[in-house]
């Protein structure tokens, strides 16, 4: 696909997909997020929502208020200069405890990668990750890109229950489970920070395009932060 010329695909009469590429790529993601921002700011009649994915933007349309064709015509001018647009993503430093009690797969992953557990933590926490999209669960971020030394396939048999806050890796990505759920990724740590909280004005902490780093903390620090979070006395703020 020519990334300079996005492809438009209808999703029935209630959606329009704008495709920018055919792979997981930060440059593609930046264009997806930029169009997401422009469409929202345009407040087009009949546009209900926009959903950024790895390589495309899904625009939800109310067919009683507009048509997919009219939305497409309105989106075309918004593509001009999209690559040159500089977004200002949120930048987050999220505390993570990588100790064994919170990281049931860490030792096994380290062995498979030919690393010591401490070296694995060092590599994972040294990277700055790009939030490609939110999905699977409310607020769950798909973040890349993992260092090549940490790339592994998903678990052969997914767990039935993954604790909320679990930090995990699989393929070239890392994530944080916001809620207890099944999951097939390797669990290498946990954060006390809430990734999704319905009581917040914006329930999902992270957004596509954000940058995330992880700060290792001890189990005692985890316990202290967890108490603050539960008491509503801790709020992680984005920097710039």
pLDDT value, residue 82: 85
Residue 35 maps to which CATH number? 3.30.1360.40
Of the chain, the end-to-end C-alpha distance in Å amounts to: 33
pLDDT tens digits for range 163-204: 999 999 999 999 999 999 999 999 999 999 999 999 999 999
Would the pLDDT of 126 be above 80? Answer: yes
pLDDT value, residue 101: 96
Q: Which residues contact 177 (CB under 8 A, 6 or more apart)?
A: 137, 140, 162, 163, 164, 165, 166, 168, 183, 195
pLDDT value, residue 85: 59
pTM of the prediction?
0.92
Domain that holds residue 164: 91-230
Same domain as 60, residue 139: no
Q: What percent of the chain has pLDDT over 90?
A: 90
pLDDT value, residue 53: 96
With 0-12 CB in 10 A as exposed, 13-18 as middle and 19+ as buried, what is 43? exposed
Would the pLDDT of 225 be above 70? Answer: yes
Would 199 be classed as within a structural domain? Answer: yes
Same domain as 107, residue 56: no
Residue 226 maps to which CATH number? 2.40.100.10
């Amino acid at each position: 696909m020519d990334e300079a010329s996005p492809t438009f695909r209808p999703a029935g009469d209630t959606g329009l997909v704008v495709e920018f590429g055919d792979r997981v790529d930060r440059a593609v993601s930046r264009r997806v997020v930029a169009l997401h921002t422009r469409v929202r700011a345009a407040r087009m009649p009949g546009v209900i929502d926009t959903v950024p994915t790895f390589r495309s933007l899904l625009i939800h349309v109310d067919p009683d208020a507009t048509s997919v064709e009219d939305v497409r015509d309105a989106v075309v001018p918004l593509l001009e200069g999209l690559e040159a647009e500089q977004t200002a993503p949120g930048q987050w430093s999220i505390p993570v405890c990588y100790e064994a009690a919170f990281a049931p797969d860490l030792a096994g992953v380290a062995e498979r990668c030919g690393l010591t557990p401490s070296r694995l933590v060092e590599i994972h926490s040294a990277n700055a990750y790009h939030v490609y999209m939110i999905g699977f669960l409310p607020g769950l971020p798909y973040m890349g890109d993992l260092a090549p030394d940490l790339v592994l396939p998903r678990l052969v048999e997914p767990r039935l229950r993954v604790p909320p806050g679990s930090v995990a890796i699989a393929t070239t990505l890392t994530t944080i489970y916001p809620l207890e759920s099944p999951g097939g990724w390797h669990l290498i740590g946990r954060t006390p920070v809430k990734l999704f909280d319905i009581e917040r004005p914006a329930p999902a902490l992270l957004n596509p395009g954000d940058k995330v780093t992880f700060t290792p903390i001890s189990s005692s620090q985890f316990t202290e932060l967890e108490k603050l979070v539960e008491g509503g006395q801790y709020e992680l703020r984005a920097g710039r």
